Amino acid sequence: MQPGWRSALQSVLLHPYFIPVCFTADLCLRLAVIWLVPIDQFSDELWYYTRGVTLAAGQGYSEGGIATAYWPPGWPGLLGLLFWLFGSSPLVGQIANLVFAALTFLLSLSLASTLFADKLVGRLTVLILTFYPNQIGYVPALATEVFYTALLLLAVLVIIRGHGLARLIVSGILFGIATLTKAQTLFIPALLFAAWWLLSHDRGRLLSVLGRVAVVYTAMATVVLPWTARNYAVFGEFVLISTNGGGTLLAGNNPTASGDDNENDALVKQVPNDVVGQVANNRLATSLALQWIGNHPADFLLLVPRKIWRLWAPDGEAEWSYQAGFKYYDDYWMIFRAVRAFNQLYYTCLIALFILSTIYFVRQWRALSPYVATGYILAVYTTAVSIVFSGQSRFHFPVMPWVAMYAARTITQWGLGSETSTRTAIASHN
């Protein structure tokens, strides 16, 4: 980047009006998609919407009048509350997504600026997210991703900004809600604290770290265990959060699996799909999946690179909602395809910058706060989960604000020549 362009970009990013203008653009772009490209909900999104409607009507978390725990209740539960307050309409959920997208903007700005002690990084991060097509396209769809992404960012920020007891409790509650939204969140706090401790410059406070982890998980338990008790009361068996884990595992590990989620395999179809038998079905699916993995370890290992590829190579899956739910999609398919192609290029550049940022981290990690590794830890954990289950591009959506942060850091470090002392400024927050 030429010095003149560096100076111009820095001037834009540091302008007093940059944040309000960028935030307004972020909201307007997402609101425009909701308003101008109305969609009908389908598949998982329709399931969440319908559960929200039944909850708002006082029918409990049920499907066809039968109590269910097939998918985690966090997002449908929030939809149910909003529908009870404001009426059962997809628009209510879409406005909620808009609010969570706005929260993601503010949280990403704060996290990036704090982690790297450089407001240029924070401002460039939100600029990247503002015009990221896939982030925009998800807002009208009543899927879990937008809500979960904001939850995860907030839970981490609360811990990073201070170590007080109240912060740990609040973070634990947030992680608990996130766990009731995506069950794999259960292990994230332990993983983060372990990695932060291993990367810290002072490892002599292990008992203090364990105490903090205990506080977080105690707070999480106050959120999760009442739902577990409800499941036991309903099913007469222990179901921690949901009953879809076995089916998800089997859909990604079967004779015709190719790395993605394959529900058409003959082995998968051996499992019934009825609401009444969902606990037994989950147990059967888990057994079949583990049996297949045990009998075909080489095939399972060969799926690993395919799952990683399916997780991280493609992007732009928000288009699925418009293909299925926008009645004029066929009239404008070329525009959607063009946006998808642009999004893939945009995403590829972000991933390339994210990978380059690891070079910076490896070279300077001793001078950095261990919190700087958070995004890498979440990316690795997301990959590990996909290796076990299946690789789907939507699974990396919650990690993308972190990818944008590291991409922004790479640009400021090597493009803008930012020389802020990360270690000193981070230390001021500890």
Query: 402 pLDDT exceeds 50?
Result: yes
38's CB contacts (< 8 A; 6+ apart) are 140, 326
How does DSSP classify residue 94? Answer: H
pLDDT beyond 80 at 404: yes
Q: If pLDDT is split at 50, 70 and 90, which confidence band does 113 have?
A: very high
Q: Is the pLDDT of residue 10 over 80?
A: yes
384-406 average pLDDT score: 96
pLDDT given at position 15: 87
Query: Of the given ranges (205-209, 226-230, 250-254), which has the lowest mean pLDDT?
Result: 205-209
Mean pLDDT, residues 219-229: 98
216 close to 175: Cβ distance less than 8 angstroms: yes
- Considering the chain, what percentage of its residues have pLDDT values greater than 90? 83
Which residue do the tokens 């222990």 mark? Answer: 238
Query: What is the C-alpha to C-alpha distance for residues 161 and 426, in angstroms, rounded to an integer?
Result: 9
255-312 pLDDT per residue, tens: 999 999 888 899 999 999 899 999 999 999 999 999 999 999 999 999 999 999 999 9
Tell me whether residue 345 is exposed, middle or buried, using C-beta atoms within 10 angstroms of its C-beta: 0 to 12, 13 to 18, 19 or more. exposed
The residue among 174 and 366 whose pLDDT is bigger is: 174
- Bridge partners, residue 67, by sequence: 62
Digit-coded pLDDT (tens) for 390-400: 999 999 999 99
Burial code (b: 16+ CB inside 10 Å, e: under 16) for 186-199 equals bebbeebbebbbeb
Cα distance between residue 169 and residue 381, in whole Å: 23
What residues does each domain of the chain span? 19-427
8 Å CB contact between 61 and 51: yes
Residue pair 134/336 in contact by the 8 Å Cβ criterion? no
> Which helix (DSSP H) or strand (DSSP E) does residue 67 occupy?
strand 66-67
Query: pLDDT band for position 207 (50/70/90)?
Result: confident
pLDDT bucket at 53, cuts 50 / 70 / 90: very high
Dihedrals phi, psi of 63, to nearest 5 degrees:
-135, 115
- Decide if pLDDT at 44 tops 80: yes
| Residue 229 burial by Cβ neighbours in a 10 Å radius (0-12, 13-18, 19+) | exposed
- Bridge partners (DSSP) of residue 62 are 67
Q: What is the H or E stretch that residue 66 is in? A: strand 66-67
pLDDT of residue 422: 39
Please write the tens of the pLDDT for every residue from 79-97: 999 999 999 999 999 999 9
Specify the 3-state DSSP secondary structure of 14: helix
Residues 6+ apart with CB under 8 A from 349: 407
Q: What is the mean pLDDT of residues 118-130?
A: 95
User: Could you tell me if residue 343 is left (phi over 0), alpha (psi between -120 and 50 degrees) or otherwise beta?
Assistant: alpha
Tell me: pLDDT of 424 over 80.
Answer: no
Task: Quick: pLDDT tens for 24-40.
Answer: 999 999 999 999 999 99
In contact, 147 and 107? CB cutoff 8 Å: no
- For residues 189-203, give the mean pLDDT: 89
The pLDDT of residue 427 is above 50? no
pTM of the full predicted structure? Answer: 0.93
Q: What is the structure's pLDDT at 416?
A: 61
More confident residue, 202 or 383: 383
Dist. CA 103–CA 150, nearest whole Å: 6
Confidence of residue 4 (pLDDT cuts 50, 70, 90): low
Nearest alpha carbon to residue 49 among 100, 102, 97: 97
Residue 64, pLDDT > 60, answer yes
Q: pLDDT at position 418, please?
A: 54
Yes or no: say if 151 and 378 are a contact pair by the CB < 8 Å rule. no
**Residue 364: per-residue pLDDT:** 74
The per-residue pLDDT of the chain, averaged, comes to 92
